[in-house]
Amino acid sequence: MTIEALGAVSLSSLEAVPLATGSGASQGSDFLHAVGTGLQGLDGEVRHADMLASELAAGKGVAVHDVMIAMEQAHLSLQFAVEVRNRILDAYQNLTNMQL
Amino acid sequence: MVDQIMAATRFGLEYERLRIEAASHNIAVANTPSAAGATSSLLAVSAPFSAHTHDASPTVGHPVLVERGADERKVHDPSDPAADQSGMVSYPKVDLVGEMSTLISAGSAYEANVRAFNALRSMDLHALDIGGGA
């Protein structure tokens, strides 16, 4: 009976996520794709909140509640990303601490 | 995550804000004479909103300020430069009591929307705690 080794998780493969469908990592690519899409969405929301905040500071007539809602949304998304990361890290540590 | 509820709350905040804006404008122009011959106009809020937030594609438009015609309130004051030939000055007829109650009700409705948003926010934060033992 053969047990396959765990594939290496490298952060550099996260950067090439949108294009990483054809190459090596066949099992992990879907997951990495999901993580990459989520991170891109989070980045977009944070940037949007940032842009609204600087527009408000520049006096461009943005409503205050719009800025607060965008910031709150970005905050919730970031919190969500952090929780996902915590769960993943927990699972990874469970695997790496496994006695064989 | 819960974009549709947020969109609804955002619409509510925008709408109430515009109601306050319209009421403040109407109160502000209550004592300014309108130009001779011109009909005075007050502001009102029009809301193209179909409140179906449970739909897959909610059609939440943006509320807009629209002008509505107002009746004239004529005062005899020949010394005013805006007076017409017969010495009458016309002001827009503003329902001050109505505008005041609009101010109050829009203010508390805005507050209610903020409260709804905060309830949603704390619900989301609690949802993130599900299963988080550490």
Residue-range definition of the domain harbouring residue A47: 25-96
Q: Note the pLDDT tens digit of each residue in A12-22.
A: 555 555 544 45
Is residue A81 one of the residues assigned to a domain? yes
pLDDT given at position B111: 95
B88 vs B82: CA distance, rounded Å: 8
Flag if A63 and B128 touch (Cβ within 8 Å): no
Closest-CA residue of chain A to B117: A69
Residues of chain A with pLDDT under 70: 1-27
B103-121: b or e for each residue (b if 16 or more CB lie within 10 Å)? eeebeebbeebbeebeebb
Closest-CA residue of chain A to B123: A76
pLDDT given at position A48: 93
Flag if A83 and B128 touch (Cβ within 8 Å): yes
ipTM over 0.90: no
Is residue A13 one of the residues assigned to a domain? no
Nearest CA to B73 among B35, B101, B33? B33
B19-39: b or e for each residue (b if 16 or more CB lie within 10 Å)? bbebbebbbebbeebbeeeee
CB proximity B130 to A under 8 Å: no
pLDDT given at position B24: 92
Flag if B117 and A69 touch (Cβ within 8 Å): yes
pLDDT given at position B88: 85
Is residue A32 one of the residues assigned to a domain? yes
Residues of chain B with pLDDT under 70: 1-2, 36-38, 49-60, 133-134
- Measure the N-to-C terminal CA separation of chain A; round to a whole number of Å: 15
Is residue A88 one of the residues assigned to a domain? yes
Domain count, chain A: 1
CB proximity A91 to B under 8 Å: no
